[in-house]
Amino acid sequence: MAWWLQIILAVVLVVLGALLVPLLLQLRRTAVAMEHLAVSAREDLGQIAADVHHLRARADELADLLSDTLELPASLGRICASAARTVEGFLGRRGPGWLGALLTGLRFALNLVRRRREGAPSKEATE
């Protein structure tokens, strides 16, 4: 091999070595930073999961409260609608469905009274 080819090869190897060392050092710093990020993210995700669980429990409480609050007006509305259909059917303005409407209204009324006596079942009772 010619002496000038050996010099060029030596210069190329020195340049590659000089460029490769900073690259490897930067990769090491990046790996350390990624490890710190993973540890921080693990801690943050634990807190986020706890917050989401708390919010879900609070939303369940609010939904139960809303359901209890609106149960009586909704049932009374159904009973009144059934009574109106019954009267309308009884007066002959509607077909023979007045008996079904009357029975539907009575069923809503009985369910409302029965639920009020028994109380609402808890969602957490199965645990």
pLDDT digits (tens, 9 = 90+) for 70-81: 777 777 777 777
How far apart (Å, rounded) are the C-alpha atoms in residues 104 and 98?
10
User: Are the C-beta atoms of residues 59 and 115 closer than 8 Å to each other?
Assistant: no
Query: Would you say 84 and 40 are in contact if contact means Cβ atoms under 8 Å apart?
Result: no
Helix (H, G, I), strand (E, B) or coil at 97: coil
pLDDT category of residue 127 using cuts at 50, 70 and 90: very low
Question: What's this model's pTM, rounded to 2 decimal places?
Answer: 0.43
Q: Which candidate, 44, 25, 26, places its Cα nearest to that of 36?
A: 44
Where is pLDDT greater, at 117 or 15? 15
pLDDT at position 126: 45
